[in-house]
Chain A
Amino acid sequence: MSEAINEKIKNYSTAPFDARFPNTNQTRNCYQNYLDFHRCNKVLSAKDHDVTACEWYKRVYKSLCPIGWVDKWDEQVENGSFPGKI
């Protein structure tokens, strides 16, 4: 299971088409992957599992989200003021 994910991460070129977000507005695509990365980290590290699988979400949000947005959210997560549920 994790080999498949690692293979996908290794062959990553850019964020693939996500059928959950088929339309022009990709704001939610970026935000959802950012949330999923942090949630994945939180859940897997709470159970002491390997967090490398979460790397996929990180690659996708890094591809999609403007750097400014990511920096702002990272700061909020550090401060504890991030509005999303992680």
Chain B
Amino acid sequence: MAYPLQLGLQDATSPVMQELIHIHDHTLMIALLVSTMVFYTILTTVTTKLTNKNMLDSEGIQTIWTIAPGLILILIAMPSLRVLYMMDEVNNPHLTVKTIGHQWYWSYEYTDYKNLEFDSYMIPTQDLIPGQFRLLETDHRMVVPTDSPVRMLITAHDVIHSWAVPTLGVKMDAIPGRLNQTTFVVSHPAVFYGQCSEICGANHSFMPISVEAIPLIHFEDSSTSMLAKI
């Protein structure tokens, strides 16, 4: 989850996010190296005492500074396309969870077997127990098993919302009348947080997403007890 003074991406808890962090670091490093080189070059060019009033030919360097950026772009594109296609791979999900965005809460539906549906409202700041996270906790969490491909079908009831969980590398718009699909696999049990990512009215900042991943062997018990409770 997010922490104070955070500069980078949240730690990955799904294989896709792990890859995304990897290419992000790779691309950012290239960008930093290029920027540093350009800055240094400009600095030296501007501060030099040398002058030359004759026109010189420079075909050599022009060739180099055309080919080299081309190679750099290929170096960026290759891992990027690899991950892009990896994200699009067909995987047969073990579970389908639907989430519907409302003003201003999310509701979750698990209908593969029985009809389990529940709403997930943010816990107001004044009702938080010490140790809970402000603006992130919800009364009911979406529970998923670990190491299982989960299909998320995301839609909305009223206006456009967006379902995002950064640590899983998931963000998908929730559009009324449309069912958007995304899949993820959770690597280890934990609780993950996200926030609505499309402006949707007064309480847009106060409809968080909270996903609890539990080992697969416990998942059935959890769903059964949830069904009994709700």
Show the binding face of A for B, using Cβ within 8 Å.
12-17, 22, 24-27, 29-30, 59, 62-68
The residues of B with any CB-CB pair to A shorter than 8 Å are 90-96, 98, 100, 109, 111-112, 115, 117, 151, 153, 155, 157, 172, 177-182
CB proximity of B21 to chain A, nearest CB, Å: 22
Can you list 19 A-B pairs with a CB-CB distance of less than 8 A?
A13-B94, A14-B93, A14-B151, A15-B151, A16-B92, A17-B91, A17-B92, A22-B90, A24-B180, A26-B181, A27-B177, A27-B179, A59-B112, A62-B111, A62-B112, A62-B115, A64-B98, A66-B98, A67-B115
CA distance in complex: A34, B179 (Å): 14
Within 8 Å CB of A12, what residues of B?
112
Among the listed B100, B117, B181, which residue makes an inter-chain contact with A24, where contact means beta carbons less than 8 Å apart? B181
Contact A64 B117 (CB under 8 A): no
**In angstroms, how far is the closest chain B Cβ from the Cβ of A65?**
8
Q: Closest residue of chain A to B156, judged by CB?
A: A66
- Bound complex: CA A25 to CA B155 (Å): 10
Chain A residue numbers with a CB within 8 Å of B92 are 16-17
Question: Which residues of the partner chain B approach A22 to less than 8 Å between Cβ atoms?
Answer: 90
Query: How far, in Å, is B92 (CB) from chain A's closest CB?
Result: 6
Please name the residue on chain A nearest to B99 by beta carbon.
A66
11 further A-B pairs in the complex, CB-CB below 8 A; given A62-B112, A64-B179, A66-B100: A12-B112, A16-B92, A17-B90, A17-B91, A17-B92, A27-B177, A29-B179, A65-B179, A66-B109, A67-B111, A67-B115
Tell me which of B96, B117, B172 contacts A67 (CB under 8 A): B117
Q: Which of A13, A17, A67 contacts B109 (CB 8 A)?
A: A67
